[in-house]
Amino acid sequence: MSRLLTALMICSIAWNTQAQTEFTASVSSSTVTTADRIELVFELSNASSASGFRAPSMSDFKILGGPMQSSNMSIINGKTSQRFSIKYVLQARKAGKLTIGPASVRVGSNTYVSEPITISVTEQTANTQEERSAEQQINDFLRNNFYIKAEVSDRNIYTGDDTYITYKLYVNARSEIYDYRVNGATKVPDYNGFYAQDLDVTDNKGEYVNINGQQFLVQTVKKVKLTPQRSGKLTADPLSIDATLTLRVKSQRKSNSVFEEFFGNSFSSSYERYNYVATAPAIEINVKELPANAPASFHGAVGSFTMETGISGEAITTDDPLTYRITIKGSGNFELFEAPELTLPPGWETYEPNIQQSGGARTFEYLLIPRNPGTYEIPAYEWTYFSPDLGKYQTLTAPAYTVDVAAGKSYTVQGNTGDAIEQLDTDIRFISRNAPRFRRGAGETISTNLLLAGAGLPLLALALLLLVDYGRRKGADPAAAKNRRAGAVARKRLKKAKELAASDDRRFYDEAIRVIWGYLGDKFQIPAGSLNKENIEAALTARAVDPSVIAATLDLLQQMEMALFSPVGQDRPMQDAHQQLENWMLQMEKGRKGS
């Protein structure tokens, strides 16, 4: 809960104002009964870069709804002001003088604390009991006519296999529900043990279905692809959404039925709004362990795949790298399996592949660099995946390729060739045992500069060899290469996210999440399958990253996930969210220690 509250408060707000920052708390009424609902609102005004919101203990109250966030901006006489608020809906558990303690929030280096609030609570009277009964009937009505269901594509899968959870909202189209608005999520599942990927559902238009003779409008509000990272009984947490509904209620007249007092015909009805929280229950998924004794060519791929390979040419020079391409097609855990490992001819080099994914295909492009001329064979390549349908490992084989390499214009001999080795026996001469005879002659003189140059050449060659070797070792370390490229890759993704934000495209939030996960995985060598909030927090803590940076990272992730889920418009412009994402990147690059 604390992480969710923090996520709701961390907003980078930029505006020109000289007004004083204020943080206040208020309730809808300070005198209530145990049957009444209480609206508790925390409001922050005229502040920027707020973070670290801490809600007070509310153990004397039931939390019926919230936290729900909202923000607004106003311009009066050229001055801009901003307000950000978090609302809870509470109900007292007992009568008496109950106190809601102070909440706190950080703004820059300052901490702001709200005043405590005391509420006088009395027991409900007979009238309030009747009203409570009517309210209960409304809740019972909504549970049957406005609810969320979670549909699972497969509850019994293997580790690394994919399953999909689709959350659908059901609204009875022929009931007294006149209109509704989904405000957002009050609880977003963590999906512990899974690699989770939210799928875009913004284009879903909904459909009408008949359920027990009633016509319901069914709307997909969230769909997530889950890939389990361990075996056992894994649970997907409940998902809750807050909604405001307009109900047609009966006009003020007495009736023998409390229910009749609330719902009536169109000739004697009016309309009232209600807040309601609908919850999809938790889902248990049975995850089976992959069979033991996997082949050495298995690198984590689970699904159904085919493989194609190809090279850019069969005759090249030492000046031109060769492109070796592997394309994996099909369906499965594309995001999680490792890049193929090639076996190359002696003296050939390669670096990390360029990876591209489009739909159901993933392509790995390797640049292969031959150092010496000759005829070489790139060995046949084997790649293995696990098929859940067949329940066994399947191995795909790519053909071997023969490549003729000619000496390029920049080619120089870098070592003993085969011909040079064959000539070694002719270089050995008999050493005479007689003392040598020397005669004076007009020999050539060697200048001092030439002598120094000749003596320095071996040192220069040694330095160049050490430099080249360092470069090769540096490039051969995949983890180090990912660490170095993390910022560049993230900035490239940021550019795409900026384009989506500029066009107000909701896919921006999905891309923003990819920026965060990708950067953290590359920078701190965290495998894609292990990317979750708990592992991120542990990895950053182990590397002595500043606690404020860790908190900001987790808050930003939660905020983007909630924004991605909400099927209605966000009060906060996407451009502001993108600016916050860029600020986080700068903070990570400047604030991390020991990474």
CA dihedral 526, 531, 537, 539 (to 10 degrees): -10
Instruction: Indicate the pLDDT class of residue 467, thresholds 50, 70 and 90.
Output: low
Q: Which residue has the higher pLDDT, 340 or 52?
A: 340
Q: Which residue has the higher pLDDT, 163 or 66?
A: 163
Report the first-to-last Cα separation within the chain, whole angstroms: 29
Instruction: Indicate the pLDDT class of residue 233, thresholds 50, 70 and 90.
Output: very high
pLDDT digits 0-9 by tens, 381-423: 899 999 999 999 999 998 999 999 998 887 776 443 444 333 3
| 301 and 169 Cβ atoms separated by less than 8 Å | no
pLDDT digits 0-9 by tens, 372-381: 899 999 888 8
The residues with which 244 forms a beta bridge, in sequence order, are: 181, 275
* % of the chain surpassing 70 pLDDT: 72
| 188 and 224 Cβ atoms separated by less than 8 Å | no
The b-or-e profile of 254-267 (16+ CB within 10 A means b, else e) is eeeeeeebbbbeee
Q: Is the pLDDT of residue 105 over 50?
A: yes
pLDDT on residue 18: 46
pLDDT digits 0-9 by tens, 196-230: 888 888 877 788 898 888 889 999 989 999 999 88
| 334 and 195 Cβ atoms separated by less than 8 Å | no
Residue 595 structure tokens: 């990474």
Among 593, 584, 571, which residue's Cα sits nearest to residue 513? Answer: 584
pLDDT digits 0-9 by tens, 106-146: 887 788 889 999 999 888 765 555 555 667 778 888 888 89
- The amino acid present at 227, given as its one-letter code, is T
Q: Which residue has the higher pLDDT, 261 or 242?
A: 242
Instruction: Indicate the pLDDT class of residue 13, thresholds 50, 70 and 90.
Output: very low
How many Cα atoms occupy the beta-carbon half-sphere of 84 within 13 Å? 22
For 586: left if phi > 0, alpha if psi spans -120 to 50, otherwise beta; the answer is alpha
3-state secondary structure of 541: helix
Nearest-angstrom CA–CA distance, 390 and 55: 51
pLDDT on residue 306: 93
ω into 67 cis (within 30 of 0): yes
- The amino acid present at 432, given as its one-letter code, is S
Q: Is the pLDDT of residue 156 over 90?
A: yes
Q: What is the mean pLDDT of residues 513-535?
A: 75
pLDDT on residue 155: 93
Nearest-angstrom CA–CA distance, 169 and 82: 33
H or E stretch covering 144:
helix 126-145
Helix, strand, coil fractions of the chain, as percent rounded to 5: 30, 40, 35
Residues across the chain: 595
Q: What is the mean pLDDT of residues 91-119?
A: 87
Nearest-angstrom CA–CA distance, 230 and 233: 9
Q: What is the mean pLDDT of residues 455-483?
A: 61
Positive or negative CA dihedral for 119, 125, 128, 132?
positive
Residue 78 neighbours by CB under 8 Å, 6+ apart: none
The residues with which 327 forms a beta bridge, in sequence order, are: 308, 363
pLDDT on residue 470: 57
List the beta strands (DSSP E) in 77-174: 79-92, 96-100, 104-107, 110-113, 117-122, 146-152, 156-158, 163-172
* The 104-107 sheet, strands edge to edge: 50-54, 104-107, 110-113
pLDDT on residue 125: 66
- The amino acid present at 367, given as its one-letter code, is L
The b-or-e profile of 1-13 (16+ CB within 10 A means b, else e) is eeebbbbbbbbbb
What is the Cα gyration radius of the chain? 34
pLDDT on residue 424: 34
Nearest-angstrom CA–CA distance, 558 and 308: 39
3-state secondary structure of 318: coil
Q: Which residue has the higher pLDDT, 331 or 472?
A: 331
Among 547, 555, 532, which residue's Cα sits nearest to residue 6? Answer: 555
pLDDT on residue 343: 84
CA dihedral 188, 194, 197, 203 (to 10 degrees): -60
pLDDT on residue 428: 43
Most confident listed range (2-16, 223-237, 468-482, 507-521): 223-237
What value does the mean pLDDT of the chain take? Answer: 76
pLDDT digits 0-9 by tens, 26-44: 888 888 888 788 888 888 8
Q: Which residue has the higher pLDDT, 112 or 77?
A: 112
Nearest-angstrom CA–CA distance, 360 and 501: 26
Q: What is the mean pLDDT of residues 431-460?
A: 57
Residue 281 neighbours by CB under 8 Å, 6+ apart: 150, 238
| Angle at the Cα of 458 from the Cα atoms of 452 and 459, rounded to 5 degrees | 85
pLDDT on residue 472: 56
Q: Which of 61-75, 382-396, 467-481, 548-562 has the lowest mean pLDDT?
A: 467-481
Scanning 246-363, the segments in alpha helix (DSSP H) are 258-262
